[in-house]
Amino acid sequence: MLDTTMKTGAWRRLLQQEDLNFLLTNRIPRIALTRAMGRFSKIRSPWLARLSIAVWRLFTDLDLSDAKQQRFASLHDCFTRELVAGARPVCMAPEVLCSPSDGIVGECGTVQAGRVYQAKGFPYRMAELFGPTQDSSVFEGGTYLTLRLTSAMYHRFHAPYDATLEHVTYLSGDTWNVNPVALKRVERLFCRNERAVLRLRLAKDGQPLAIVAVAAVLVASIRLHALDVLLHLRWPGPHELPCNAAVQKGQELGWFEHGSTLIVFVPPGFALAEGVHTGRRLRMGEPLLRRVGATAPSTAGHAAGAASGPA
């Protein structure tokens, strides 16, 4: 057992070497492998799923203890797993926007002159990220925050607040890896990759909110409950998808096929919640942003909440 653990640790350390990591996850036929992985993951075979999950665990800290199912008919079922009720308590404090997903906080800060950062020294333009049809100027001077979902994490994402999902813009693109190694090497990476721009309006005061779901290598597929389509690299359109879906705080919005990145944008009047900073691991439902001038929520503001499916 100890020998197996040591070998697993050695594999992980090897893959953490920047040059090798970048080579193995980017200098490959990314789109072709992503499509192949999509087909492979959906093969309905419990024994193949068990074998694939065992291999997956050699390279990640996959934890299925809070999964609603413990046996999976396919690898895809494991990737998109639901959680047992109450696994992700949602902060219900009225001044708080909760984290829409599990994730590691990446770059975050203030939108300045329409520019934000994917990594130190690597800026990109919001207008390019949102696409030519969307006006991102309402977020000027506001706050942005990047949440990276690793492959082993819970891959569903939820509403940060009571809101209406008004519009989705789908932009096809590449499938670069979105890990820190690639973000420090590939300029404007988020603007190159496949993504969906979700435009919401908060129910409390009509303030705008945007969540940009960015796909990545092996993960080029996004599903939203409000739309009866699977957004993927071969989706022929339409690419502008009006919605009028009311969602409650903590309600499931959709999921990635494997794992990727969410970028959250809010206008002026919000700030990062206490303790939120680059490198922090968050779970869906924990405080992410708060209204400026509002006091930090107490633990009494939490309620046993969602994470097992749409409300």
| In-domain check, residue 310 | no
Q: Are 171 and 197 in contact (CB under 8 A)?
A: yes
Across 22-41, b (16+ Cβ under 10 Å) vs e yields beebbeeebeeebbebbeeb
In a domain, 22, yes or no: yes
Task: State which residues form the domain around 12.
Answer: 2-79
Radius of gyration of the chain (CA): 19
Q: Based on the number of CB atoms within 10 Å of its own CB, is 10 exposed (0-12), middle (13-18) or buried (19 or more)?
A: exposed
Whether 56 has a pLDDT exceeding 90, the answer reads no
Q: Is residue 308 part of a domain?
A: no
Note whether 103 and 65 are same-domain residues.
Answer: no
Give tens-digit pLDDT for 248-266: 999 999 988 665 899 999 9
Q: Active site residue: 74, 136, 151, 260, which one?
A: 260
The active-site residue out of 155, 158, 232, 302 is: 158
Per the annotation, the verdict on 137 as an active-site residue is: no
Question: How many domains would you assign to the chain?
Answer: 2
What is the value of pTM for the model shown?
0.83
Q: Tell me, yes or no, if 158 is annotated catalytic.
A: yes
Residue 55 lies in a domain: yes
CA distance 147 to 284: 11
User: Is 260 noted as a catalytic residue in this protein?
Assistant: yes
Q: How far apart are CA 180 and CA 261, in angstroms?
A: 11
Predicted confidence (pLDDT) per residue in 76-119, tens digit: 898 889 999 999 999 999 999 999 999 999 999 999 999 999 98
Q: Left if phi > 0, otherwise alpha if psi is -120 to 50, otherwise beta: which for 165?
A: beta
Same domain for 170 and 194: yes
Q: Does residue 39 lie within any of the structural domains?
A: yes
Which residue among 74, 76, 102, 232 is the active-site one?
A: 102
* Domain end call among 49, 79, 109: 79
Quickly tell me which residue has 């696994």 as its tokens.
Answer: 87
Residue 194 pLDDT = 86
Per the structure block, which two tokens stand in for 73? 């008919």
